[in-house]
């Protein structure tokens, strides 16, 4: 037993060191996307490659496997959700994935995707799918090899999904999405037929950037992001980087002629940041101090962006501050008109610009195409046709070009196949958690109307943030809400919001 304990302590010490290397890479990555001059790119790539190589070498060292085997033979792990059992379970998972992928495959993937991303950027600019197609084909072949090497069985797509959402399966997603799809299409159709159109143009007036920054920071701080332990900077593709305890970095981008972009973008990233700030610092660098999955992380960004930031209560409280900051744009505008404008629903081509109601349809389309590409039922060359046809079925529009269609996202060119479903999972988990929070802590909307976001944040911290990876996502939702993942809470949320707004 003494040996088992000492093996566990040594394993944890090593894993924490590897995580420290990872957070060094995190600082460099954040800098690369915010302040680094263009000329620094080549040197930065070398710095990052060195760190990633060091991490990989230490994470796949046979010693890790020996410690794991010794601990698993002992009785330290009797209780499956104890701190030690959770850490060992997740370290084992990461170790298996890392040693199963041959070095040659990892290197080839890095080479192929670096080139593919360059080609994709140009192909998107020229809306030239044919230029990107051979690269997509190569990536698909690599991803199939990767799935086979990981060897989780059929379908191959599960192995790719598991990289982003541990334990999630194609079968479960298909079950949830197929129920959601019909109801969403119906709701979006009813909204279109209602004939009501909020005046979205009022969000596209002049919104000076310096005031947008002040208002965005004010809102992020109000909902609970701690600026003494974090900051906000500008970037092209916004992200949140949790460097470590006491240091969480948000980024956003400003559009002087569109209020929603930076404001809701900032709340979205602040939601990710509030999760990171709520992790248990004592467990930093181990699974017990890390977020559950991309889907659960996204549930928090969507929670604070949409369930809080687009709620009626939030605008009852916050509209006056926004009107004060932009007296020219919002002179004479009523709170109710502003609330309707930030909640406008209309089918559109670009996923990242989609509203709360249509967003998941964009994801289901990608999920179906990715699966068919991986199992071989769909050839890369047929993607534009299938994309446009499915888009027309779900959203009633046909993309005018591939740039506005299948070339819009960076994910495939970077090898990120199986990533998209985590966005939809984020919306679904957010709705299910929010419904439970309302049951547990009372009338959230009334609390928001008074600027009080603490009860929700405290509930989330206790139930989710401080728990680290104690539960996998699909178990966490059962532990918190008593039920498996369902699309119904999301549909209830959307109907409760849009039926009165659109008179349906």
Residues that bind Co ion (CB under 5 A): 301
**Closest distance between Co ion and the C-beta of residue 423, in Å?**
8
Nearer to Co ion, 148 or 352 (CB): 352
Produce one character per residue of 299-331: b if its CB has 16 or more CB atoms within 10 Å, e if not. bbbbbbbbbbbbbbbbbbbbbeebbebbeebbe
Nearer to Co ion, 168 or 305 (CB): 305
Q: Which residue is nearest to Co ion (CB)?
A: 301
Nearer to Co ion, 113 or 301 (CB): 301
DSSP state of 469: T
* Count of Cβ atoms closer than 10 Å to residue 296 Cβ: 25
Nearer to Co ion, 177 or 304 (CB): 304
**Closest distance between Co ion and the C-beta of residue 238, in Å?**
9
**Closest distance between Co ion and the C-beta of residue 264, in Å?**
11
Q: Are 333 and 323 in contact (CB under 8 A)?
A: yes
CA distances from 418 to 84, 144, 323, 360 (A): 30, 12, 42, 15
**Closest distance between Co ion and the C-beta of residue 268, in Å?**
6
Nearer to Co ion, 10 or 34 (CB): 34
Q: Are 360 and 188 in contact (CB under 8 A)?
A: no
- Catalytic residue (one of 146, 168, 261, 269): 269
The answer to whether 269 is a known catalytic residue is: yes
E strand or H helix at 145, and its extent? helix 129-150
**Closest distance between Co ion and the C-beta of residue 424, in Å?**
12
Q: What is the CA radius of gyration of the chain?
A: 23
Produce one character per residue of 188-201: b if its CB has 16 or more CB atoms within 10 Å, e if not. beebeeeeeebeee
Which residue, 271, 259, 360, 354, is CA-closest to 307?
271
Return the SS3 of 249: strand
Nearer to Co ion, 306 or 481 (CB): 306
What's the rounded Cα separation, in Å, for the pair 424 and 184?
A: 13
Nearer to Co ion, 301 or 474 (CB): 301
**Closest distance between Co ion and the C-beta of residue 227, in Å?**
20
What's the rounded Cα separation, in Å, for the pair 502 and 190?
A: 9
Give the DSSP letter string of 289-336: GS-S-HHHHHHHHHIIIIIITTSHHHHHHHHHHHHHH-HHHHTT--HH
**Closest distance between Co ion and the C-beta of residue 398, in Å?**
28
Which residue has 């990536």 as its token pair? 139
Catalytic (active-site) positions: 269
């Amino acid at each position: 037993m003494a040996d088992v304990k000492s093996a566990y302590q040594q394993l944890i010490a090593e894993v924490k060191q590897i995580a420290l290397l990872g957070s060094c890479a995190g600082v460099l990555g954040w800098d690369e996307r915010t302040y680094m001059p263009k000329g620094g790119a080549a040197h930065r790539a070398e710095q990052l490659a060195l760190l990633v190589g060091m991490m990989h070498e230490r994470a796949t060292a046979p010693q890790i496997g020996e410690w794991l085997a010794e601990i698993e033979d002992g009785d330290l792990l009797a209780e499956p959700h104890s701190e030690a059992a959770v850490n060992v379970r997740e370290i084992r998972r990461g170790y298996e994935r890392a040693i199963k992928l041959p070095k040659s495959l990892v290197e080839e993937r890095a080479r192929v995707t670096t080139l593919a991303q360059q080609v994709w950027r140009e192909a998107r600019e020229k809306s030239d799918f044919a230029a990107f197609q051979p690269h997509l084909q190569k990536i698909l072949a690599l991803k199939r090899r990767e799935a086979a090497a990981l060897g989780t069985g059929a379908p191959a797509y599960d192995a790719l999904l598991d990289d982003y959402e541990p334990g999630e399966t194609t079968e479960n997603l298909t079950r949830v999405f197929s129920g959601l799809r019909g109801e969403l299409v119906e709701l979006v159709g009813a909204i279109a037929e209602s004939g009501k159109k909020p005046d979205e143009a009022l969000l596209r007036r002049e919104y000076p950037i310096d005031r947008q920054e002040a208002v965005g920071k004010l809102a992020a701080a109000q909902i609970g992001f701690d600026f003494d332990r974090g900051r906000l900077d500008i970037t092209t593709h916004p992200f949140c980087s949790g460097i470590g305890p006491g240091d969480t970095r948000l980024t956003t981008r400003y559009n002087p002629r569109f209020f929603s972009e930076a404001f809701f973008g900032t709340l979205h990233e602040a939601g990710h940041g509030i999760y990171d700030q709520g992790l248990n610092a004592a467990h930093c660098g181990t699974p017990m101090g890390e977020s559950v999955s991309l889907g659960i992380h996204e549930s928090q960004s969507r929670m604070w962006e949409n369930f809080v930031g687009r709620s009626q209560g939030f605008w009852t409280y916050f509209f006056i501050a926004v009107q004060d900051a932009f007296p020219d744009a919002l002179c004479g505008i009523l709170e109710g008109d502003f609330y309707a404008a930030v909640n406008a629903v209309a089918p559109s081509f670009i996923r990242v610009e989609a509203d709360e109601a249509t967003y998941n349809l964009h994801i289901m389309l990608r999920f179906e195409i990715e699966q068919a590409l991986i199992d071989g039922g769909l050839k890369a060359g047929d993607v534009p046709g299938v994309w446009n046809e499915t888009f027309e079925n779900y959203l009633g529009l046909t993309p005018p070009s591939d740039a506005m269609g299948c070339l819009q996202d960076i994910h495939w060119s970077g090898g990120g196949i199986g990533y998209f479903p985590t966005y939809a999972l984020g919306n679904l988990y957010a709705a299910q958690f929010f419904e439970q929070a309302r049951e547990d802590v009372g009338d959230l909307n009334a609390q928001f109307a008074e600027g009080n976001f603490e009860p929700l944040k405290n509930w989330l911290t206790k139930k989710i943030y401080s728990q680290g990876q104690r539960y996998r996502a699909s178990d966490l939702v059962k532990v918190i809400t008593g039920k498996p993942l369902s699309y119904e809470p999301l549909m209830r949320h959307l109907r409760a919001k849009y039926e009165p707004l659109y008179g349906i």
